[in-house]
Amino acid sequence: MPELREERQEVGTCVELFAGGGGLAMAVHAAGFRPLLVNELAPRACQSLRDNPPDLKEPEKPWPLVPGDVSDISFTDHITEEVDVLAGGPPCQPFSLGGVHKGTEDKRNMFPEMFRAIRELRPKAVICENVRGLLRPTFRPYFNYILNELTLPFVERDKSATWEDHNDVLEKLIANESVDLSERYVVKEMAVNAADYGVPQIRNRVVIVAFRADLGVNWGEFMPKETHSEESLIHSMREGGPYWTERHKSVPVDVRKRIIASLPKLDYESRKVKEKLELEPWRTLRDAIAGIDENEGKPLPYVTEEAVEKKLPVGNIPDHIGWPGARMYTGHTPNVLDRPAKTVKAGVHGVPGGESVMQLDNPDFVNAGGGTGYRYMTVRETARVMTFPDRWVLDGPRGEKMRQLGNAVPVKLGTVFAKAVANALKSVGALEDPEKRK
């Protein structure tokens, strides 16, 4: 991606919690923040971080990984420098549509550990990504409590108090503005679809950004705006459109005609449509496989029937390995090539919904152990959908690699927000010259 190809300029420091396979950590690093501590619990994800240094130009400098349960970490024991950004995506299973929806009662709810880290580190900014399920009516009251806790993280909850009782205390303090600005944060949440920011995947999430109130940051001036749209993609896919004439000239004529015939009509007189057409087209699964951003001009090698049947590696691309047994049935429909991929989920290759199955141009392709015309996506194809660079190699068997990808933040989405946070902090002089830190 262009922002990762640019010469990286260090702007500050960061701490990354719940790092998983490294998507958000990589994004914050790409925005210029030097990691002081990176935490992850899962052993396979920790090994992925060990195997992939932040910067290929400095392979001798690994991530400052502190593995294990975040609740066991004393941050002040590990960090002596000022922290500019604290980033992380607390485990989302308690609030995910794919989980059991226990929410605040679930022991996997790690938001309290984020707040403890804020109290110990006093970061200038916080970036938090989580599932859109937090906005569901069932969880909305608790989500508002999360936002209030992030606003006043130094007002700790009494062990005997319920979250509702603590929320009442927080709301009163927020209303009368009695807490010192250095111990309160200005918090904004955004519901986002990663596809609207150039990620070739429909991925609906909530991004929470907070700035220490005493800094006086005006986040509204820097909040990322959508850069890509579905309408622009549809327009580009018309007969003779650039999707076919510039990006995918080799697509068979019959396939192209079938796709064009199925396109929805656009109301070109609509103000909304006109505004959306000014944006870049959504990226598609076909785009990701062909190569976008830093992989531009580097298409993934074709996966043959033999590679699927025998689980063979294809080309010299890491994790580009065929996999047999894909199924397609009601409620388990595959990804189509000329749309953004479905949300990559943290399940194994057979997760419900067909998230890792793809429909092929060739209807006669024999999927070993399954039907015809479709197959499982390779781990590398899935990594491209998550905008991980091809050099990033994940540890473990296929299921573990897919789980790491499903738990990750798309690198491109994370970088968009991390760069915006960096610019916002720069605007108020909150980021020192890195040379002065040394």
Residues 99-118 pLDDT 10s: 434 445 456 678 899 999 99
Distance between CA atoms of 128 and 223, rounded to whole angstroms?
14
Average pLDDT over residues 203-231: 97
pLDDT beyond 80 at 435: no
- The token pair that represents 43 in the structure block: 């052993």
Confidence of residue 132 (pLDDT cuts 50, 70, 90): confident
Question: What domains are there in the chain, each with its CATH number?
Answer: 2-226+404-437 (3.40.50.150)
pTM over 0.85: yes
Percent with pLDDT over 90 in the chain: 79
Question: pLDDT tens across 383-401, in order?
Answer: 999 999 999 999 999 999 9
Question: pLDDT tens across 156-199, in order?
Answer: 999 899 989 999 999 999 999 989 999 999 999 999 999 999 99
Residue with tokens 């604290």: 86
Cα 287 to chain centroid, rounded: 18
Say if CB 93 and CB 21 are below 8 A apart.
no
Say if CB 390 and CB 317 are below 8 A apart.
yes
Distance between CA atoms of 416 and 227, rounded to whole angstroms?
10
Residue-wise burial string across 335-364, b where 16 or more C-beta atoms lie within 10 A, e elsewhere: bbbbbbbbbbbbbebbbeebbbbbbbbeee
Say if CB 141 and CB 106 are below 8 A apart.
no
